[in-house]
Each structure stands twice: as C-alpha cells, then as structure tokens.
Amino acid sequence: MTPMTPMTSQQSLPERRTALPALVVRHAELAPHALAVVDGDTTLTYGGLLQSGRALAARLRENKVVRGDRVALLTTRSARTVVAQLALWLAGAVCVPLDPAQPRPRTEAMISDAEVTLTVGDAKLLEAAAPTGPVLALPEEPLPGGGPLDESDPDSAAFIMFTSGSTGRPKGVAVPHGAVAELVTAPDYVTLTARDRVLFHSPMTFDASTFEIWSALANGAAVVVCTVQRPSLEDLARHVERHGVTVAFFTTALFHQLAARRSRVFAQLRSVVVGGEALAAAPAREVLTTFPWLELVNGYGPTETTTFATAHRVTAHDCDARPPIGRPIAGATAHVLDADGRPVPAGERGELWIGGSRLALGYTGLPELTAERFVDDPDAGRLYRTGDIASFRPDGVLEFHGRNDDQVKVRGFRIEPAEIEHALRQLPEVDDAAVTVDRAGTSEARLVGFVVAAPGPVPRADALRERLAALLPAHLVPDAVTVLERLPLTPAGKVDRRALTAHAGPAGDDPADRPAGTLTPLEQAVAEVWSRSLGSEVTRADAEFLALGGHSLLALAVTDDLREELGVELSLADFFAAPTVAAQAGLVERALLAAHSDLHPETPEHSDAH
C-alpha cells in the first residue's frame, strides 16, 4: 500500500477513549436522578442503574468472575439486559451476547469458540437452553449494596459479537470498549442530546443494539426498551408514541417496509439511522417528503469496524440516485484501494478498507483470519479489508457499489452463503448444495437454496428447511429450497450462481401449483393479504406462509395489513404459530368474535363458517 492521497478520507480522532462503565458513572455523578432506562412501567435513573450494576458486579465477583473472563449473556430484551452488561464490565468481564431464539447447536458453538467461563441470564432461558458450563441466574429484583468497582479498560474487549462465517461456523468479533465509546460519545453524525429517548428493539446479538443502548447512556439520554420481543410494525409505532421516543435505528429493509406504509412511527421521531443494506432512493424520498423535519442518517459499517464506520445525512437531493454512505465518522478512516493496494482516483471503484481507532481487536481464536482481514500498513496504520466495492465522489463522499465476494446482506443480516451450504451438505439426504439471493438489492430479497439429492428418496424441500431450522438461526434458513439433478457450472468449473437464479421458484414443493380448494370469506381475505406481500397468488387454505417464501419481515407487513383491513391484532408469535391460511383465518375469526361479543352473545367459540 502507498501513503494516503486526497482520495483517502479521515476524521480527526476524539479527544479521548474511555471504557463504557465510565460513561454511566459520569452521568450518575452529574444527574443521578435523570432517567436512564425505560422498560414498560419500570424505570431506572442513572444513579439506580449504577447501583444495580455495581451490586450485580459484586455478585459476579463472588462467583469467581475475574478480569478478562468471557461471560455469555442470555436474556430477553429488558432493563436487566442493560444492568447485566454494565455489571459484566464493572467486573472486568467480556460480554458474549446470546440469542434465545437461536438453535442450541449454534449457541453451543458460540460458547465454545468464545471460551465462555460462565453463562448468566434469565432463569427460565437458562433452564431451557441448558448451556454447557457454569450458569448464574440473574436476580428477579435489584440486589442491595455494591460498592465502587470498575475493572474495565478502554483497550480491552467489551463484546464478542458473532457474524456469519464462510467455514460453516460463526466467527466471533472482539470489539473494544474504547471503540464503542468513541462511536457514541457526542456524535456529530446524528443529533443526540440528554433530552432524547432512544429505542432499543434490536436483538442483543446484532451490533446495532450497542448503538441503541450506549448512544443514549453516553449522552445522558434514556434507553427505551421495546418490551415486545418480536414487535410488529404497529407495536413499534405504539411503543414510540407511548414513550416519546425521538431517536431510532432501523435496518434498511425494515425502514423500507415502514416507508411503504408511511408509518406514523416517523411522525414521533426526530432522528432515524438506517443501515445493514443499500438504502433505496424512493423510500428515503417518500419519508423525507412526508415527514420533512426528520433527520435521516444512512450508516455503513461491518461489525469489525464497530457498527458504523461512515454515515451520511440524507437529503431530498441525494434521492435522485442511490443515497451515498457518506464520510468516515468518530475516529474512522476510509480508503478506496485497487488490487495492488494503491488509492484510486475520485469516481473510480475499488475495495473499501477502513482504518482508525475503532477497529475490532480481531476474530476470537482465529489468528490467521485476523491477519488476513486486519492488515498493518506502514502509512495508513491498521486497516480492515471490508470486501465492499466503493468509490469517492469529488467532494470526498463515499458511494457503495456492492461486494467483491459471495457475502450477501438479506434483511439487514450479513450472510456467508458458504455457512448455509456447509450445513446443507451435512444433511444425509444432500450430496451437494449452493445458496444464492433471489431479487438481490430489493426489499423482496430472499435466500434460495439448491441441493443435489443423495442416492435414495428425493428429500422434500420443506423437510430440508425444517432440518436447517434446528441448526441455524432463522435468518440463515433459505426462504426456498429447490432440488436439482446437478448444480450448473461455469467454464472454470465453479458453481454458476447466475444460472441458478433461473431455477429459483417458490419455496417448498410449490403448493401454489396444486388445485385450489374453496376458501371461506375470511380465508379469502387472509389469502389476498398474503398474495400482496408474497407477490404471487395464494389459493389454498392449507398453504403455509414460510413454504411460499414468506419470512419475518414480510410477516410484519401481513400483520399490519390484517390490522388495517380486518381490524384484528395478530402478534408475530401468533402469526407463526398459525402458519396456514386456514389457521390464520381461524385466529381472525376468534378475534372478531371476541371484539364483538356484545353483538353475538349466542355465538359459540367456533362458528360454522368453516
């Protein structure tokens, strides 16, 4: 590599780094009675948060937690999540977030790879997950006592966040305290003051949750915990309205869904940060036109660069084309380099490398991969190779142009198709496999798996998806699986992924091709709502949402449409527990009868409509 040129951009470093507990201590001293966390009807002040964190840290020390220990955290999203994070760091530990919704094999792999010494969490979740090694249930009520204690260090790891891995196992990214603190302290890329309330609704295993929690606590603002674990679009809007939320992060795909509905969530918010995928111009323009006061920030950054490395305040002018990803923020640097490591001129595309003071420490237990992706340059310093293609505009603003490898983003999740392919090949019914993205770059993007069956009975697509669901988190399970006689190859002998897209059909064994039965009026209404979201006609009462290519983001749209058109509220949990048209029509019928029982006092619980 060569010295930085004008086409290498950087921002001046913050004055100092700090460990995250110091941020809470500072505000607890300045304004101990200021609101720090809102969790439903439960609130914590900064003084109360610090006291609870210190008391739990003392309990952790009693359980032999020492500085540098890696402790897994298994909780539902709650105020206790925030207290537990703080306590782990006060005790000197590294927090390894776990997702209660993930399959047990993946959780065990994360615990093993992170070399976890203790798992703390909600008692019921610990009992259900039965993780390997010692466990400690979090107290139901705040603990008393707890004197001053802080074993945290700006340069030590705060989190180990796991991302999809091309080897078939997730890889743990160790993110230091100082990197998170620099990102969130007095940010100039988004407006955030002590009077703000920031929504915490992302899974704890998603690095955006660090922004949601710690951007608030670093600036004396309040964290508003979304108490619904799988919130619908309506849940989000109600939560924002009820608690006066002013700042929120949404994955790009979720933002697109909210924008398409002109969700009233934007009417309450002042600032919205989006990230995870390329932001489309049309939804951004729609939101900015309808809600002109809104500050819309397009954020970019892999986990290895601590959530966001660049950001751009989007204006209507930016929406004439794809909005840019902006300039480096909060101590980051950005370098667009050619294949030989030389900076490219403005307007030319190259690979984006990120440097500065907020890079991750590396991949846990993977020194060779760390050395490959994190490179020490004598002129530019330590750099992370993103694998993304970008270019600088003449004004120094970065534009994003996709990937230079097979890694993809679907619904905000970073996905290595090789990890899914590895899991498919482990199934005894499968000889070979490939995974692609259908409708890539759109809000309808979906994962599609292709398999070559092993000798014997040809496996059913829905059975393969069920097997994968027991091994991989939901976002890694393909929305459709197609069985092929063989995988198409390029002249070079590699899998021809472009040719595979021609084979992509609906999920499962295409129930849409079966003869349609007679639908009841309510089933017809549900089927029409499904059809709009899925983009194909649904004609059978036994059609299954997931088998037709549905996923959690489309489910949000369907539940919102059912509420608007039929006047019934279905939670996402209810939605997925009733996966067919007929089952959901039954839920709708019972909800309508319950809502209008005064009009039908003689009506039994189940009418004869079916």
Query: Does residue 474 carry a pLDDT above 90?
Result: no
Average pLDDT in the 195-216 region? 95
User: Comparing 559 with 212, which gets the higher pLDDT?
Assistant: 212
Neighbours of 374 (CB within 10 A): 18
Query: Does residue 601 carry a pLDDT above 80?
Result: no
* Burial (0-12, 13-18, 19+ Cβ within 10 Å), 127: exposed
Distances (CA, A) of 369 to 165, 168, 233, 296, 362: 11, 14, 39, 35, 8
Residue 216's pLDDT band, with cuts at 50, 70 and 90, is very high
d(CA 553, CA 363): 30
Residue range 406-445, pLDDT digits in tens: 667 776 677 777 778 878 888 888 877 888 887 766 666 7
Residue range 90-116, pLDDT digits in tens: 999 999 999 998 888 889 999 999 999
Query: Does residue 371 carry a pLDDT above 90?
Result: yes
What's the pLDDT at 248?
A: 98
Average pLDDT in the 525-535 region? 84
CB 437 within 8 A of CB 278: no
d(CA 126, CA 137): 7
Side-chain half-sphere CA neighbours of 535 within 13 A = 12
Average pLDDT in the 13-28 region? 81
What's the pLDDT at 16?
A: 54
For domain 416-509, which architecture applies? Answer: 2-Layer Sandwich (3.30)
* Burial (0-12, 13-18, 19+ Cβ within 10 Å), 601: exposed
Residue 260's pLDDT band, with cuts at 50, 70 and 90, is confident
Lowest mean pLDDT segment, chosen from 301-310, 331-340, 434-443, 576-585: 434-443
Average pLDDT in the 319-344 region? 93
Q: Work out the mean pLDDT of the chain and round it to a whole number.
A: 86
For 454-480, b/e burial (b = at least 16 CB within 10 A) is eeeeebebbebbebbeebbbbbbbbbb
Query: Does residue 498 carry a pLDDT above 80?
Result: no
Lowest mean pLDDT segment, chosen from 122-126, 202-206, 346-350, 490-494: 490-494
Phi/psi of residue 152, nearest 5 degrees: -80, 160
Distances (CA, A) of 465 to 99, 201, 461, 508: 20, 27, 6, 8
Query: Does residue 200 carry a pLDDT above 80?
Result: yes
Query: What number of H helices and E strands is found in the chain?
Result: 19, 27
Share of the chain above pLDDT 90, in %: 49
What's the pLDDT at 607?
A: 38
Residue range 384-398, pLDDT digits in tens: 999 888 999 999 999
Residue range 156-171, pLDDT digits in tens: 999 999 987 666 678 9
Helix (H, G, I), strand (E, B) or coil at 357: coil
CATH of 517-595, picked from 3.40.50.40, 1.10.260.40, 3.40.920.10, 1.10.1200.10, is: 1.10.1200.10
Average pLDDT in the 534-551 region? 80
User: Would you state the structure tokens that stand for residue 340, as one six-digit string?
Assistant: 């030989």
Share of the chain above pLDDT 70, in %: 89
Average pLDDT in the 299-320 region? 95
User: Would you state the structure tokens that stand for residue 186, as one six-digit string?
Assistant: 């007095």
Query: Does residue 33 carry a pLDDT above 80?
Result: yes
d(CA 224, CA 221): 10
Report domain extents, the chain. 416-509, 517-595
